[in-house]
Amino acid sequence: MHMIRYAVFGHPIAHSLSPRIHTAFGHQLGIDVRYAAIDAAPEAFVEALERFAGDGGRGANVTMPLKEAAFALSAQLTERARRAGAVNTLTRVDGRWHGDTTDGAGLVRDLTARHGLDLRGRRALLLGAGGAARGVAPALLDAGIAELVVSNRTPERADALADALGEPKRAHSRYWDDLGNLGEFELIVNATSAARGGQGEFSLPFSITTSRTLAVDLNYGEAAIPFLAWARAANCRDVFDGLGMLVEQAAESFALWHGTRPDTDPVYATLRGHSAVLVTSD
């Protein structure tokens, strides 16, 4: 009989903290969790996932750039995954993969429950239109933001995401090069991967921020540094990386697989204590 296994798939994936997080959750609740990181390029993802299932894989998290591919291969989808058009959590049920997305719930829980912020009524800018952006967009709308502007360097992707959200009065796309003419935003979410691998500085016009702007990067660690540096230079009031979201979405996945939700605070505190990225809130 195969040992029950869990894993996170991505490309690259060596940097992932997910194995450490899920192992910590398991220790907390007395559950023996066998969780690994598996590097799979997009063209090899389906084969790698099936091999994992054959070796006892019961559940998998999916990160960049595989979230839309995970959506496409899911035999069954939750409503929030269907709205997002992206999947970050797969569960093996009767020989088939069931897809869900916990990213949006994780982001909103981190910002509201952990940091005590109110998202309602904010005008929001979502930078990026790939799997990461798709994963959080519906949850931001559900959290009560007043308007969601999606902008991506490939405008067709932004158009597709805005259309998929199905709320033309609240969610629409705008050109990246036109951001300086769109006024101010009280929430800016970076869902791009432009800064991964140290690809230079992050540059946006400061005119899009206000004295109460909340700036969030869905990346964590070194990949988040350029955007966070820009946000601080723009005098954004609250600046956060994606570490809290990572822990919260992991807890949502853990609960789906094991039937109980772990306490995220001690795990977050431990990881934050080892993180070189500063997070500020005035």
For the annotated binding site for NADP(+), the residues are 79, 128-132, 152-157, 218, 242
Indicate the SS3 state at residue 38. strand
Starting at the edge strand found earlier in the chain, the sheet holding 5-10 runs: 35-39, 5-10, 57-62, 89-93, 96-100, 76-77
Q: What distance in Å separates the CA atoms of residue 23 and residue 27, rounded to the nearest whole number?
A: 6
What string of DSSP letters covers 92-127?
EETTEEEEE--HHHHHHHIIIIIT----TT-EEEEE
Please say if 169 is a catalytic residue: no
Q: How far is CA 158 from CA 70, 93, 129, 262, in A?
A: 20, 33, 5, 35
For the annotated binding site, the residues are 16-18, 63, 79, 88, 103, 128-132, 152-157, 218, 220, 242, 249
Indicate the SS3 state at residue 280. strand
Q: What distance in Å separates the CA atoms of residue 217 and residue 228, rounded to the nearest whole number?
A: 7
The residue annotated as part of the active site, out of 67, 109, 122, 123, is 67
Q: Which residue has the tokens 């993180």?
A: 275
Q: What distance in Å separates the CA atoms of residue 180 and residue 29, rounded to the nearest whole number?
A: 49
**SS percent in the chain: helix, strand, coil, step 5:** 45, 20, 40
Chain centre to alpha carbon of residue 113? 17
Cβ burial, residue 262 (10 Å; 0-12/13-18/19+): buried
Q: Annotated active-site positions, please?
A: 67
